[in-house]
Chain A
Amino acid sequence: MTSSPSAGTAPHGFPAADALAPSRPQANVRRDGATGLARLSFLIPTIYIIFLLLPIYWLGTMSLKTNQEILGAFTLWPTNPTLANYRVIFTDPSWYNGYINSIIYVALNTVISVSVALPAAYAFSRYRFLGDKHLFFWLLTNRMAPPAVFALPFFQLYSSFGLIDTHIAVAIAHCLFNVPLAVWILEGFMSGVPKEIDETAYIDGYSFPRFFVKIFMPLIASGIGVAAFFCFMFSWVELLIARTLTTTAAKPIAATMTRTVSASGMDWGVLAAAGILTIIPGALVIWFVRNYIAKGFALGRV
């Protein structure tokens, strides 16, 4: 039992903070049942993150070493850090064009995917129509179809349209798996918006396009962001189709990396530098959407 608090405070009065504090030291702690074990639980994610970062760190150090240093004595960090490898990439057009190509087709793909997915997701979330459920499943199967199955006919299809080695070809081909995903994510977010909002807007005299752009899209802005992020992500990391559909003019950076095998053996330093450079755009994009990541992975539905 603690000592009884000071008497004589007014009925609605308010005891001075220090009058009661001595009898209840450190009482203002929320109890979460944090046992000793629970306090150590941060170790699991920490170890996991170290595991994730080690290989990336290794690539990073390699990119700052010369080939002699890489193949010579084994060191945990570069003894003579050099930016020479990066200089090679930024001065050679066939290297940095790979970057520009990747960014162009990824951006194109993101824009196309999200803009066609928006009306479709709206239709799926608001209406029932002939064959809707089967259509939805069919879209999803494309997300699941192995790209290796399609590689060759893809090449021929796009050649017969004269699209080989263009950015738009890769952008459209990536729609195969990005559009279904975007529809899926957006449908989840849209279903969270009450239908009454649509009806109120129509009563207020909004036309459908104006309602969609002015009222509805701001409401699901985070959903659009999440969908765009996923489209960016899957278009950026995909290589098989991108490589099949390009030769030189639209060749992605990831495909350019195979060039480092030369007569004199592997150019490890440049390869590592190119690898690090392909990680950076992804890292930047994650940083921008960090507050939506958890929500996005729930696909707006949980």
Chain B
Amino acid sequence: MTLSWMAWTWPTAIFFITIFGLLIGMGVWEYAVPGGSPRVGILRFETTRGDRLFVSLLGSAFICLFWLGLVGPSLWWALALCLGYALCVFRWV
């Protein structure tokens, strides 16, 4: 059995490690402070931490796509924008 066809690269590996790290982090956070601190934010329905993380990640993916489509290949600014967006989501949604 060989898994070389999965064609791992360092950037994608780091990407997935980050995602899994975030998930584990959320798990630990949830374990420490159970309940997910639900609240009703600007979307006018109840969200928990996990929802906010999901919205941040999904939104970031779209920000990067739009950046690639409209601005250019250098994603560093897009990443900064994503970070800002994620902070906003965690603050207000």
Contacts and interface: CB of A to CB of B under 8 A. Distances in A.
Contacts of A156: 5-6
A131 B27 contact: yes
A130 B27 contact: yes
B2 A160 contact: yes
B1 A130 contact: no
A130 B48 CA distance: 12
A124 B1 CA distance: 35
Contacts of B26: 131
A210 interface: no
A133 interface: yes
Given A133-B50, A134-B50, A134-B54, A160 B27 contact: no
Contacts of A161: 1
Interface string A280-291: 000000000000
A162 B2 CA distance: 10
A131 B2 contact: no
Interface in B1-25: 1-3, 5-6
The size bracket of the interface on B is: 10 to 19
B42 to A, nearest CB: 20
20 contacts: A130-B27, A130-B30, A130-B31, A131-B26, A131-B27, A131-B30, A131-B50, A133-B48, A133-B50, A134-B50, A134-B51, A134-B54, A156-B5, A156-B6, A160-B1, A160-B2, A160-B3, A160-B5, A161-B1, A162-B1
Majority-rule SS of B interface residues: helix
Nearest to B23: A131
Contacts of B50: 131, 133-134
Given A130-B31, A160-B5, 15 more contacts: A130-B27, A130-B30, A131-B27, A131-B30, A131-B50, A133-B48, A134-B50, A134-B54, A156-B5, A156-B6, A160-B1, A160-B2, A160-B3, A161-B1, A162-B1
A156 B2 CA distance: 10
A132 B92 CA distance: 23
B70 to A, nearest CB: 24
Contacts of B3: 160
Pick from B3, B5, B27, B48 the residue with the most CB of A within 10 Å: B5
A229 to B, nearest CB: 32
Contacts of B48: 133
B17 to A, nearest CB: 19
- Give 10 nearest A-B pairs by CB, closest first: A156-B5, A134-B50, A160-B1, A130-B30, A160-B2, A130-B27, A160-B3, A161-B1, A131-B27, A130-B31
